[in-house]
Amino acid sequence: MRDLLGGKGANIAEMSRVLGAERVPAGFTITTEACVTVMEADGEWPAGLEAEVEKAITALEGSTARGLGDPADPLLVSVRSGARVSMPGMLDTVLNLGLNDGSVAGLAERAGNERFAWDSYRRFTQMFGNVVHGIAGERYEEAIAAAKAERGVKLDTELDAAALRELTERFKAIYSEETGEELPGDPRRQLRDAIAAVFSSWGNDRAVEYRRLNRIPDRWGTAVNVQQMVFGNKGEGSGSGVAFTRDEITGASKPSGDYLHDAQGEDVVSGVRNTLDLDEMARLAPQAHAQLLEILGELERHYRDMQDVEFTVEEGRLYLLQTRAAKRPAQAAVRFAVDAVEEGLLDRPGALATIEADKLDALLHPTFAADASYEVLARGVAASPGAAKGSIVFTAAEAVERGGESEDVILVRPFTEAEDVAGFAAARGILTSEGGKASHAALVARGMGRPCVVGASDLDIDVAKGEVSVDGKVLSAGELITIDGSTGAITVEDVPLVTPEISDAFQIVLAWADEIRRLKVRTNADNPEDAARARSFGAEGIGLCRTEHMFFGADRDGLVKEMFLAAEEWRRLHASADEDPGDAARARATTVEERFRTALASLEEMQRDDFAGIFRAMSGLPVTIRLLDPPLHEFLPVEHFEAELKALGGRGGRPEELDAARHDLTLARELREANPMLGTRGVRLAVLYPPIYEMQVRAIIEAAAIVARDGGEPPIVEIMLPLIAYETELDEVRELVEGAVAEAQSEIGHDGPYSIGTMLELPRACLVADRIAEHADFFSFGTNDLTQTAIGLSRDDVEGKFIGAYIERGILDRSPFETIDEPGVGELVKLGVEGGRSTNPEIKLGVCGEHGGDPASIEFFDRIGLDYVSCSPYRVPIARVAAAQAVPHD
Amino acid sequence: MRDLLGGKGANIAEMSRVLGAERVPAGFTITTEACVTVMEADGEWPAGLEAEVEKAITALEGSTARGLGDPADPLLVSVRSGARVSMPGMLDTVLNLGLNDGSVAGLAERAGNERFAWDSYRRFTQMFGNVVHGIAGERYEEAIAAAKAERGVKLDTELDAAALRELTERFKAIYSEETGEELPGDPRRQLRDAIAAVFSSWGNDRAVEYRRLNRIPDRWGTAVNVQQMVFGNKGEGSGSGVAFTRDEITGASKPSGDYLHDAQGEDVVSGVRNTLDLDEMARLAPQAHAQLLEILGELERHYRDMQDVEFTVEEGRLYLLQTRAAKRPAQAAVRFAVDAVEEGLLDRPGALATIEADKLDALLHPTFAADASYEVLARGVAASPGAAKGSIVFTAAEAVERGGESEDVILVRPFTEAEDVAGFAAARGILTSEGGKASHAALVARGMGRPCVVGASDLDIDVAKGEVSVDGKVLSAGELITIDGSTGAITVEDVPLVTPEISDAFQIVLAWADEIRRLKVRTNADNPEDAARARSFGAEGIGLCRTEHMFFGADRDGLVKEMFLAAEEWRRLHASADEDPGDAARARATTVEERFRTALASLEEMQRDDFAGIFRAMSGLPVTIRLLDPPLHEFLPVEHFEAELKALGGRGGRPEELDAARHDLTLARELREANPMLGTRGVRLAVLYPPIYEMQVRAIIEAAAIVARDGGEPPIVEIMLPLIAYETELDEVRELVEGAVAEAQSEIGHDGPYSIGTMLELPRACLVADRIAEHADFFSFGTNDLTQTAIGLSRDDVEGKFIGAYIERGILDRSPFETIDEPGVGELVKLGVEGGRSTNPEIKLGVCGEHGGDPASIEFFDRIGLDYVSCSPYRVPIARVAAAQAVPHD
């Protein structure tokens, strides 16, 4: 009934059942459906709602034997929100409703406590004004301060009944001043207004923002719970508190909590007074404490999860106001899971289900020391978890020069590009002022496990000047900066960092996950270090090794440019090949051919070493190598060649040098594309420049042979062709690859098994997967690019810009780059799976987009029957747990 | 049986049935399947093929009572190719096979003509050497020339039997010199070699190229027809010819053809001798002529189509060698269709089916005069049909300045962009050195009906210098150039042009099409002129009015830039809106707001007039207006603002001017996108800048009111939202549009019906069409963009570059931008149709991509049940005919 009654409403009902009605204050719940209807009608109540509320309140009056507003023995109620999922502090609440100038006297008499009655009434007028009419809290605080000053006291509790009575009058006056009308004395009217206010609090800014951050749909609405008030502020025998069934930070199996004697619940939450812990409560209210501990155990056993409860002790009697699954940090979640199994509370799948897999990477990365206090300079988007500090550098080159082993540096840039990747490796962390969670900086940083904060738009970064300014403060290169990629915080203080180890409990949880899960988990890795790290985290192979990442790096840059220019010249030569060329043309052809082959030969050597390193790190496991998939323009940026030519002119280059530079610039210009994402990429490159793939294939085969000869267990080589749209493309390029493999194997006299598959990353490929599967040993769904093409979204261009606007306006629940868009992109993956298996039942199916590390997406991939997911190294443990959680269990 | 026997083989069989076996030389056919098997085995014959050929030739020997190579009475055969569809002159043929040193005597004796026998043997040795071993024709021609010189004669026919015998020996010597072996005398061996040569001729360069141009799959293969030779060169009673059942140029109902007395068929085709017409044949061979006319009638009645036949008269007896549907130009096709119905030969659907709809636009555009002769300077891709001539201009501005009514100009550019569109209108034709059939230039030119040649890569265009050079020749601005957009020809000669009118026959054919077709035909038009032209061609409304095209034009350019800059400032202001801004911020907000509103107001006025003009032209018909769908970067090119700033600096602008220019440049830079095709486009714009769509909606509603008030019948307004991916987007923006409509209608006090729909142009939209249809009154499939996203192809970037390479290598049969890619993009359209109708059975469904004017695609759109297609004005008649042809009939 949670959808209809909200979490709290359902909970109250359930608690009454478990603990007995006497432990839970009586009340009733107005459904979320009513809220949605009211919201859609712009606040208008549907016919019948008012009558139903009247019926329910009358029944409550009956069961409690008190009347709302009764001057003799008034029924007081709380009016609280209660959404399907908890949104702590986001929605509004009115307490002590039912008090007016008449009933306050009845309350005083029944409680035998005039001060309590006036304090309650004072609180009600304050909350009603604040919640129902949005009157600023300060107005009331000022009045309290004035009252205290007038009486020369310091604490609220020092105000006596008379003072509180005066204060209540003052609050009523504030109400009239602000709203132009009297505070309603009719409790029915109070109730109606309060319910309406709770409905409308669903739409307040902080609630909308909270939903956006927590991916809660706007259309859910909140329920409203009307419940008899119980009072923790009825003197010495009373109190209020919150309690966790276990330690909420560590997960240790000892209840913890906060208690305030003679106080209402909001005093505990607001932090106005210093709370006591449960041991202290035991001293003050031993009986209630004992009951509470018993009940905590009962609730945990019932809900089979760590609970977070609110309770009140009214004149010695314990009431439970709320219980819910306790939010907990990763270490507590893991500890609870392990203990719960040991205690027989849960079985392993059940215990795993209590863990939020997404949070687990906090257990792998350095973090700010828990007790560290520091001033936040600015905030950005938490893009890659972990904390890092170091001297500011503004360029990748500087990072390489100063960073690495020699010095801790943080790479600070407006945004990053492919050619900055070497700088990532040398830096401890990355900070950008632009971009979102799927920007280049975020993707690469997550892949490499580097802490990263992006989109810190308050930062004004002037790379040329070597300065970053924020709010008038200017930082120069070399100054210390500290970032927390788990929270987005940026500071200039030297915050102490702690590096957690994979705890025993975490190892146990991961072992269970491995027992249970059906999906294999591989990693995306482009170098031996990442591969080794991922393997230590449990990766069962590489699902995506992007060879273009190997083409970057200062030592290769010139060579790679040279190779692509030569390739293009080579292509043009062959396209226009004359049947009987003259001598000059023949000579030129020889030069072009030689230039291309020379560049390829040097790259082949480097690639071979790259692959050998990766193969060693993954020996015995499958390694999927994607052949080159560059957007050409990243390798041949026009700006670079313009600058080269200018520089050459500046230093008085010889005419033939200038000619050559001009020629290169022209080629780069001609190769520039309006939409590189949809241009000469992937396998299209192999059709235009076949020798490039041939070179890569040779390097792979040679590397496998080297590892085998060195006595290592060779990996299971899977060669992946990117950006296939047509089965005929795959057929053609597969032939090319097979030819190159056969040639290389016969040359070096070593052969090993290999398979050839394709990346499914275009909608067309998914639609004709049946045809493509006839030529493929495996499919790997490239859901990043598939998302871009299926939805027509260039991640770089739109993510920072309007995905945010879309989520804010409720058009999107979440970014399709974070969690797979099931009805759209997911449907394509499903069609691809069905099509592929229909013609090739043996085909191996995986996913290598970022979604491979997202728990919600992993659940989907398990459901549609993929064989494995592949994700960045630091997400491997998360994926292992998520894959286990995806397996249905009772 | 055509697929298996090939066109010719099936035809021979059919002809024998219709005309009687005595009219058709006896023979047998080797299937296309055999050819495919042999090709796949690299020339190896499958087991059994040789034995089957032996069996068939033995049977032929039996039925003709002659033996292959029999020295007494030899059977001679022809060995000819025959693919599924005719590929005239592309594949190889060997005639007179069966002759050798022995049988030539028998032939001489049986024919009583020694010269004929040696001439036949001479021809056989020549063809065998040429076809089977690729010996160059010149070697034989030189020998013939030498023989004639030796004997002092001028014509081949003057060589006597002895001379031909000597020549035959010489030819056999040439064979030995070239191949290193004797010309095989064994006729069985000759037959096997000839069959193998025909098989392999399927893979020769000219055949491959022909298939590419005519979209014939490589995998079809050719059949081989072995048929008894008949001789047109047996003296006075013999001859050969080709004939059409009607005039092949005009379609007039009088047979026409070419005849040569005492000659073999290849003499007619080769053009070596001047042929006679059929009237002349009637004088020379009256009986055969009479028989021929009778048979032509018989064949046309049987095949119910205009025929093209080959015949031979051997000693007075008429043989039919081949008949096939006659290729014919558009006017002949139309004339035949009309006459065939009048004659009762065909019903209307049958007559329509004989027309190649794609060719019909030749009937609408100016063409080179049929008898014009001129030297071709270069060739490009025929991108938009029709011929045009004028002075060269190199920029759109120049075209606007000098062109239009005042002077005929041709806009010559490396490529064109959106801002060149005004130049298209002012020019007679467009010529580019880059791009393919779906380049910007081609698309816009076709839309506007301007002749256009693109991708003329031999042209080196230097816009800055104002020169175009080709092959060393340099043309300057102002010089005359003539282009033929139907053939791709470019010349500097003043070729006379003729403008055809829509003939009565064409009108009749179009009227039948309208009777028969189910699909409605609309047009894509952005201005009143195009709309009126399309209506005169029979368009039944506008399926796509692109409002961004109205934003271009010299008079609007500055205003549009201003509007977008203001829009972005406005957005930023609102995104960061403070709850309580200071006075300065408030003042700034007012300025930004005012700037935006002022720009919008001016544009609104212009748009209103644009729409009013279009509405008048389409009064009473539906008009689908697509709200703005710009790639922002086209409106805010960074280069423009860089140039502005530089220019301002150069002329010493004031500091505040420079600041403003710098600010604009920064905005433009920040709005630049890496992949504009996947960026801030379509409805995304409305989410970021709602007032822009509101302005457009007001302009539409005002325009409709103006037309109605002027007494015109208003159009049926359909407002289309582009680039929808999510149903929630449509829901949100639909509300915005409805609000703006209601406001505008109440303001001006005039309301009219309108509907709101969306363009389906993203794969995701097609996959969730069921959800989207709940918010849409119509879908229009934007198959251009759908093709780009589904296949991951940016038309601008890849069409010229590798679509060609893909087709050449057989990976693609045709460009997916020309004819819809059925299994991929077509499947998405189908899913969109099914999804849309599942939740909204009343939804109106159309297509507005370029495919809407392509007959093959139209057939598909009819099959999947769309309601209408929309295409550029000049393709409307083609679409009407194609839509009728799409309707199945018996």
A876 touches A521 (CB < 8 A): yes
Query: How large is the average pLDDT for residues A212-223?
Result: 79
Q: How many helices (H) and strands (E) does chain B have?
A: 35, 31
Q: Which residue of B has its CA nearest to A675?
A: B675
Looking at the predicted structure, is the pLDDT value of residue A217 above 90? Answer: no
pLDDT per position as a tens digit, A458-515:
899 998 889 999 988 999 999 999 999 888 999 999 999 887 667 899 999 999 999 9
Q: Is the pLDDT of residue B215 over 60?
A: yes
Contacts A764 to B, Cβ<8 Å: 790-792, 821, 824-825
CB-based contact B797 A678, cutoff 8 Å: yes
Cβ(B87)–Cβ(B211) below 8 Å: yes
Structure tokens given for A173: 């006056």
Residue A271 has pLDDT above 60, yes or no: no
Complex ipTM above 0.90? no
Looking at beta carbons, which residues of chain B come within 8 Å of A684?
Answer: 798, 802
pLDDT of amino acid B214: 66
Pick the more confident residue, A211 or B154: B154
B802 in contact with A at a CB cutoff of 8 Å?
Answer: yes
| Annotation says A848 is catalytic | yes
Q: How much is the pLDDT for B270? A: 60
Instruction: Verify whether the Cβ–Cβ distance B767 to A823 is below 8 Å.
Output: yes
Q: Does residue A370 sit at the B interface (CB-CB below 8 Å)?
A: no
Closest CA to A791 of B858, B723, B166, B332: B723
Give the per-residue pLDDT at B339: 97
> What is the rounded average pLDDT of the residues A283-297?
94
> Which residue from B674, B805, B810 is facing A676, i.e. has the nearest CB?
B674
| Residue for token pair 């093929």 | B49
pLDDT tens string B828-876: 999 999 999 999 999 999 999 889 999 999 999 999 999 999 999 989 9
Residues B763, B773: Cα–Cα separation, whole Å: 15
Least Cα separation, residue B183 to chain A (angstroms): 29
Interface of A with B in 203-222 (CB under 8 A): none
Q: Considering CB atoms only, which of B684, B793, B805 is closest to A687?
A: B805
Preferred mutation among B767, B794, B828, B830 to probe A, highest tally of A CBs within 10 A: B767
Mean pLDDT of A152-169: 90
Residues from chain B that touch A825, judged by Cβ atoms under 8 A, are 764
Ranking A653-657, B33-37, B402-406, B532-536 by mean pLDDT, the lowest is B402-406
Contact A437, A454 (CB under 8 A): yes
- For Cα atoms A239, A242, A246, give the angle at the middle one, nearest 5 degrees: 135
Taking only the tens place, the pLDDT of each residue in B450-488 is 889 988 888 999 988 899 999 889 999 999 999 998 889
Chain B residue with minimal CA distance to A682? B792
Q: Which one, of A77, A2, A78, lies nearest residue A33 by Cα?
A: A2
Give me the pLDDT at residue B371, please: 81
What is the C-alpha to C-alpha distance for residues B600 and B694, in angstroms, rounded to an integer? Answer: 10
A732 touches chain B (CB under 8 A): yes
SS3 for B163?
helix
Calculate mean pLDDT across residues A509-522: 98
Across A228-234, average pLDDT: 87
Catalytic member of A261, A289, A365, A440: A440
For the stretch A351-385, pLDDT in tens is: 999 999 988 877 888 888 878 889 999 998 888 87
Chain A stretch 129-168, residues whose beta carbon is closer than 8 A to a beta carbon of chain B: none
The rounded distance, in Å, linking the Cα atoms of A775 and B811 is: 14
Q: Is the pLDDT of residue A579 over 60?
A: no
User: At residue B577, does pLDDT exceed 60?
Assistant: no
Nearest Cα residue in chain A from B828: A767
Q: How confident is the model at residue B571 (pLDDT cuts 50, 70, 90)?
A: confident
Decide if B673 and A771 are in contact by the 8 Å CB cutoff.
no
Nearest chain B residue to A828 by CA: give it.
B767
Comparing A354-358, B157-161, B352-356, B481-485, the range with the smallest average pLDDT is B157-161
SS3 A406: coil
Of B674, B802, B810, the CB nearest to A680: B802
A674 vs B796: CB contact, 8 Å cut-off?
yes
Q: What is the mean pLDDT of residues B492-512?
A: 88
Q: Between the CA of residue A389 and those of A427, A479, B86, what are the distances in Å?
A: 10, 10, 75
Residues 759-788, chain A, touching B (beta carbon < 8 A): 761-764, 767-768, 771, 785, 788
Given a cut of 60, whether residue B60 has pLDDT beyond it is: yes
Chain A residues close to B810, C-beta within 8 Å: 728
How many A/B residue pairs have CB atoms within 8 Å? 174
Partners of A388 in beta bridges: A483
Residues 520-559 on A with a CB inside 8 Å of B are: none
- φ/ψ (deg, to 5) at B46: -70, 155
User: What are the residues whose beta carbons fall under 8 Å from the beta carbon of A863, sequence distance 6 or more?
Assistant: A886
Please choose, from the candidates A833, A733, A714, the residue with its C-alpha nearest in 3D space to the C-alpha of residue A783. Answer: A833
Could B678 and A678 be called an inter-chain contact, meaning their C-beta atoms sit closer than 8 Å?
Answer: yes
**% of residues, chain B, pLDDT over 70:** 96
Contact list, A806 vs chain B (CB under 8 Å): 687, 729
Average pLDDT over residues A205-221: 77
The average pLDDT across A12-30 equals: 91
Find where tokens 């194609």 sit: B882
**Cα dist from A637 to A669, A676, B301, B673, whole Å:** 8, 12, 66, 15
CB contact under 8 A, B798 and A680: yes
Residue A447: the pLDDT is 66
Banded pLDDT at B107 (limits 50, 70, 90): very high
* Residue corresponding to tokens 């390479």: B805
One of B440, B549, B775, B851 is an active-site residue; which one?
B440
pLDDT at residue A273 in the model: 67
CA–CA dist B596, B581 (Å, integer)? 20
Distance from CA of B688 to the nearest CA of A (A): 7
A34-91 pLDDT, tens digit per residue, is 999 998 888 899 999 999 999 999 999 998 889 999 998 899 999 999 888 877 666 7
pLDDT in tens, A423-461: 887 899 999 998 776 567 887 787 677 899 988 888 999
Mean pLDDT of chain B: 90
pLDDT in the model for residue A546: 93
pLDDT of residue A758: 98
Longest dimension (CA), chain B: 117
Mark out the alpha helices in B537-622 (DSSP H runs): 554-575, 583-617
**Would you state the pLDDT for residue B594?**
92
Instruction: Determine the pLDDT at residue A635.
Output: 85
Per-residue pLDDT tens digits for B357-410: 988 877 888 888 878 889 999 998 888 888 999 999 999 888 888 887 778 999
Per-residue model confidence (pLDDT) at position A214: 66
Convert A387-407 to b/e letters by CB count within 10 Å (16 or more is b). bbbbbbbbbbebbbbbbeeee
**Which of B678, B684, B768 is nearest residue A824 as measured by Cβ atoms?**
B768
The distance of A49 to chain B (nearest Cα, Å) reads 28
The better pLDDT of the pair B846, B637 is held by B846
Q: Of A35, A545, A848, A871, which one is the catalytic site residue?
A: A848
Instruction: Report the residue of chain B nearest A799, measured CA to CA.
Output: B679
Q: How many CB atoms lie within 10 A of CB B471?
A: 9
Q: Residue A411 in contact with residue A396, Cβ under 8 Å?
A: yes
Which string of DSSP letters, residue by residue, matches A47-77?
A: TTHHHHHHHHHHHHHHHHT-EET-SSSEE-E
Annotation marks residue B848 as catalytic? yes
Give the integer Cα–Cα distance in Å for A246 and A130.
Answer: 35
Residues of A in contact with B673 (CB under 8 A): 794, 796-797
Chain B residue with the nearest C-alpha to that of A722: B792
* Model pLDDT for residues A311-352, shown as the tens digit of each residue: 999 889 999 988 888 888 788 899 999 999 999 999 999 999
Whole-number Å distance between alpha carbons of A563 and A596:
6
In chain B, residues with a C-beta closer than 8 Å to the C-beta of A681 are: 792
* Pairing of β B754-760 and β B778-781: parallel
Residues with Cβ within 8 Å of residue A72, at least 6 apart in sequence:
A106
Span A766-816, pLDDT tens digits: 999 999 999 999 999 999 999 999 999 988 777 667 787 887 777 888 889
Nearest residue on chain A to B806, judged by CA atoms? A687
- Structure token pair of residue B114: 């020694």
Give pTM, 2 decimals: 0.81
Partner residue opposite B790 with nearest CB, options A680, A728, A764: A764
- Mean pLDDT for all residues in chain A: 90
Residue % of chain B over a pLDDT of 90 = 61
User: For position B326, what pLDDT does the model report?
Assistant: 87
| Sequence-separated (6 or more) residues with CB below 8 Å from residue A603 | A551, A556, A559, A560, A563, A695, A699
Alpha carbons A827 and A791: distance in angstroms, whole number: 12
Pair A228, A60: CB distance under 8 Å: yes
Q: What is the pLDDT of residue B578?
A: 52
Residues A286-293, mean pLDDT to the nearest whole number: 95
Residue of B nearest to A671 (CA): B797
CB of A457 within 8 Å of a chain B CB? The answer is no
Are A820 and B701 in contact by the 8 Å Cβ rule? The answer is no
pLDDT tens readout for residues B254-311:
999 889 988 877 777 665 567 788 999 999 999 999 999 999 999 999 999 999 999 9
For residue B327, pLDDT over 70 is answered with yes
Q: Is the pLDDT of residue A835 over 70?
A: yes
pLDDT (0 to 100) of residue A554:
67
> Considering only CA atoms, which of B480, B485, B610 is closest in space to residue B542?
B610
A793 touches chain B (CB under 8 A): yes
Q: What is the pLDDT of residue B618?
A: 96
pLDDT at B38: 92
pLDDT at B447 over 80: no
Distance CA A379, CA A844 (A): 43
- Whether residue A1 is predicted with pLDDT greater than 90 in this model: the reply is no
Q: What is the mean pLDDT of residues B60-71?
A: 92
User: Which chain A residues are within 8 Å of B801, Cβ to Cβ?
Assistant: 680, 688
What pLDDT shows up at residue B272? Answer: 57
Residues B296-313: tens digit of each pLDDT: 999 999 999 999 999 999
Query: Using CB atoms and an 8 Å cut-off, which of residues 661-720 of chain A contact chain B?
Result: 673-681, 684, 687-688
d(CA B232, nearest CA chain A) in Å: 39
Q: Which residues of B touch A767 (CB under 8 A)?
A: 790, 823-824, 827-828
- Contact residues, chain B, for A568 at CB < 8 Å: none
Tell me what the mean pLDDT of segment B28-35 comes to: 92
CA nearest neighbour of B438 among B390, B384, B391, B492:
B384
Distance from the Cα of B726 to chain A's closest Cα (Å) equals 8
pLDDT digits (tens, 9 = 90+) for A588-640: 788 889 999 999 999 999 999 999 999 999 999 999 999 999 877 788 888 88
Chain B residue with Cα closest to A634: B674
Residues 482-511 of A with CB under 8 A from B: none
Run of H or E residues at B622 = strand B622-626
Tokens 């840039």, located at residue: A413
